[in-house]
Amino acid sequence: MTHPRPLAAQPTTVRLASDDTAAFHQFLEQVRYEGAYPTRERAEESVRRVLSALGGQLDRADRAALAGCLPGPAARLLTRAPAAPRGLSGWEFVQEMTERCGGSPATNRWDVGAVLHVLARGADRPVLDRVIAALPAGYALLFGRPELVGRPELASAA
């Protein structure tokens, strides 16, 4: 009886472009798991919609900082988004996505949470703290963090 070689012993080919693609596919699989989506395509649809919309809510510096925590294709979605005409609260952000993309507010809230929870797990904490602080109220919850309002000493401890 022969045993297959262990995965660690299998040869690997490293190419920069495929690493970027592999990282993006891994990001999509994490979103797929978080959102309990039936397919990677459904997860990718959510990633595209949410990151494009979020990019419009961020200033250039915050977009760039947060994009640095994402694989290339996801980072480009965030950085290439046109600036929104006005800043939206977390709830308004979900409502805007519902109006623009259809579906129900609950489904869009689910999609936003799935993508932003995965983004938050992979982001540098100081970058994410700065981005959440710069956004209007309600985004901390979308990123899976408690919303600490009116108590700055608690916000820095979160």
SS (H, E, C) the chain: CCCCCCHHHCCCCCCHHHHHHHHHHHHHHHHHHHHCCCCHHHHHHHHHHHHHHHHHHCCHHHHHHHHCCCCHHHHHHHHCCCCCCCCCCHHHHHHHHHHHHCCCHHHHHHHHHHHHHHHHHHCCHHHHHHHHHHCCCCHHHHCCCCCCCCCHHHHCCC
pLDDT digits (tens, 9 = 90+) for 57-99: 999 999 999 999 999 999 999 999 999 999 999 999 999 999 9
pLDDT digits (tens, 9 = 90+) for 91-134: 999 999 999 999 999 999 999 999 999 999 999 999 999 999 99
Residues 31 and 115 sit within 8 Å (Cβ to Cβ) = yes
Domain-wise residue ranges, the chain: 22-155
In which band, very low, low, confident or very high, does the pLDDT at 7 lie, cut at 50, 70 and 90?
very low
Q: What is the pLDDT of residue 3?
A: 38
Percent of the chain residues past pLDDT 90, beyond the cut: 78
Q: What is the pLDDT of residue 61?
A: 94
Across the chain, mean pLDDT equals 85
- CATH homologous superfamily of 22-155 equals Uncharacterized conserved protein DUF2267 (1.10.490.110)
Interacting residues of 112 by C-beta distance below 8 A, sequence separation 6+: 50, 93, 94, 97, 142
Residue 156 has pLDDT above 90, yes or no: no
Q: What is the pLDDT of residue 135?
A: 95
CB atoms within 10 A of CB 128: 21
